[in-house]
Amino acid sequence: MHRSGTAMAWNVFKFCTALRGLGSIMILLVLGVVGVTYYAVVLTNYGPALSQGGFDSLSALTILLLFHFLLAMLLWSYFSVVFTDPGSVPPNWRPSTDEERGESDPLNSLEFDNSNPRVRFCRKCNQPKPSRCHHCSVCGRCVLKMDHHCVWVVNCVGALNYKYFLLFLLYTFLETTLVTLVLMPHFIAFFSDEEIPGTPGTLATTFLAFVLNLAFALSVMGFLIMHISLVAGNTTTIEAYEKKTSGKWRYDLGRKKNFEQVFGMDKRYWFIPGYSEEDLRRMPELQGLEYPSKPDFDSQ
């Protein structure tokens, strides 16, 4: 029994170490897909069409403007997730009086302090942790409102960068869908008897870009739908898994307030990776340490 437990711990350690090692490789992979796509759309197919004049030139200009706008928003959101700390427990943090009352529906009883069963405690970090905070074995620390560790962004997705991650998914889906649609006529031409203009290299790049963007569009669409449902219920991926057998969720305040807890109240900032200073000042939940709950739960 002891050996099996040790072996399992060692396997988890090796898995986490492997995920850390993927860091720069995943970023280069993302940039590689962007590069192939840019070459196929801008340099090979629609850039040269700008000089043709007439409707073809106007159509190419519209596609290129939309392509570059979505690409800029995608990269902005992506690197915001990569370089933004998801949120860590401040040194010497202690729960407030309200938090000491504890949660009426704890997700994991093993996370609570034996001396005070109403205070959540991380045995790996050896410190108390706020509500909705979880320990990441890859990062080796507790992350505020942790959703998951994402190898694509080489970072944890938590309280401080979850909005940026959602925007990254949104703009990736829109960009890859656009590329799939504009390259589809060129892809279909591969299977026709007509002669296709271009060198073997440009044709292969167009084919590869179409396949890659179609695959990403379909896969990201699934993740986007899942996370939209999580935001609507004010739940993270970890919480959704852990509370399958529980009843009501204390943090579900209604779709509008749930949405605002992630994207803020200022509509001007909803679709950019950032928050207004006013939202940061008036919404403590954006900092990841305090979250309002339903009045019926607070009264318990």
Active site residues: 150
**3-class secondary-structure state, position 55:** helix
Best CA proximity match to 151, nearest among 26, 30, 14, 11: 26
Could you tell me the two tokens for 56?
């073809």
Between CA 176 and CA 185 the distance in angstroms is 15
**3-class secondary-structure state, position 226:** helix
Between CA 258 and CA 239 the distance in angstroms is 15
Q: What is the DSSP letter of 120?
A: B
* Phi, psi values for residue 114, rounded to 5°: -65, -35
CA dist list (Å): 70 to 63, 164, 169, 185, 297: 11, 14, 12, 21, 42
Between CA 99 and CA 17 the distance in angstroms is 34
Whether 144 and 132 have beta carbons less than 8 Å apart is answered as yes
Q: Residues of 43-54 as b/e, b for ≥16 C-beta within 10 angstroms? A: ebbbeebeeeee
Residue 74 CB: number of other CB atoms within 10 A?
22
Could you tell me the two tokens for 65?
């403007």
Best CA proximity match to 15, nearest among 153, 149, 147, 138: 138
Between CA 27 and CA 22 the distance in angstroms is 9
